[in-house]
Structure 1
Amino acid sequence: MQFLKARLREDEAAARAVKPGKSEDLKRLKARVLADVEAKRQLVAWVEENFGTVLKADAEARGLPVLQKGAVHLIAALPEFLRSPVIERLVWAYADHPDYDPGWGLTEYMHEDEADGDKLRSRTGGRTP
């Protein structure tokens, strides 16, 4: 998550630094990048703000016995498990970044030029960034 948030800050800073002048294409690209950053930030917030995280924090704060705490963590893991692929897929765009960790899930990444556009091929598995 921290890796992705840092890349989004970099993307936003780069887009804001663009001085488009009279180029309408550059103005649209800048606006699209800024909108893309905001959309990704909202997805990150959606992943982070799930009730599983709240459940685990509550279990810790209440000092539940180990067995009950384990049950809460197991129940809380489901929304995290279902939401974490969102972050994995967002991180794919940064697979060529020097700080990218291949253990985050992307082991193969390539675009194939096809008549109908690029096709992303990938295999996943691993830790969440």
Structure 2
Amino acid sequence: MQFLKARLREDEAAARAVKPGKSEDLKRLKARVLADVEAKRRLVAWVEDNIGTTLKADADAEGLPILKKGVVHLIAAVPEFFRSPVIERLVWAYADHPDYDSAWGLIEYVHEDEPDGDKLHSRTRGRTT
């Protein structure tokens, strides 16, 4: 999340640094980049703002016994599980950035109905796994 937020700040700063000129294409591109940054920030906020994050924080703050805390973390993982792929896919756009961690991988799923897929499998950076 921190990596993605930093890239969004960089994208916004770069777009805002573009000097206004006579080119309508440049104006539209600047506006599109700024709109893209805002849309991605809203998606990040949506991922962060879920009941799972709140449940985990509350369980940690209350100092619950290990077993109860584990159950809360397990329940909290469900909304995180369904929301976290959003962040993974947004981060892929920055795979060429020097701070990108290759351990994050570029995983995409190929379904049976796709030309090169006879079953559901994952493909990492062009390699099928």
TM-score range, shorter chain: 0.7 to 0.9
- Aligned residues with identical type, % of pairs: 87
Q: In structure 2, what is the equivalent of residue 14 of structure 1?
A: 14
Matches within 5 A, 1:64-75: 64-75=64-75
Tell me what 2:40 maps to.
40
Classify 1:66/1:107 alpha carbon distance in 2 versus 1 (closer, same or farther; 3 Å). closer
Match of 1:56? 56
Residue 96 of structure 1 aligns with an amino acid whose one-letter code is: D
Given residue 18 of structure 1, which amino acid in structure 2 is its aligned partner? V
Residue type of the alignment partner of 1:10: E
Whole-angstrom distance in 2 between the partners of 1:22 and 1:49: 41
Q: Once structures 1 and 2 are overlaid, which stretch shifts more, 31-40 or 93-102?
A: 93-102
TM-score scaled by structure 1? 0.80
Shift of 1:83: 0.8
The corresponding residue for 1:80 is 80
- Partner SS for 1:94: coil
Query: TM-score normalised to the size of structure 2?
Result: 0.80
Unaligned runs of 5+ in 2: 109-121, 125-129
Q: CA RMSD in A?
A: 1.6
Aligned to 1:114: none
Distance 1:30 1:81 in 2: 34
Distance (whole Å) between structure 2 residues aligned to residue 34 and residue 123 of structure 1: 31
C-alpha distance in structure 2 between counterparts of 1:84 and 1:104, whole Å: 12
Moved more, 58-67 or 4-13: 58-67
Partner of 1:102: 102
Q: Flag as ranges the 4+ runs of structure 1 deviating above 4 A.
A: none
Structure number with the bigger relative contact order (C-alpha 8 A, sep ≥ 6) is 1
How far the C-alpha of 1:61 sits from its partner, in A, is 2.0
Give the number of aligned pairs.
111
One-letter amino acid of the structure 2 residue matched with residue 47 of structure 1: V
SS of the counterpart of 1:44?
helix
- Which residue number corresponds to residue 118 of structure 2? none
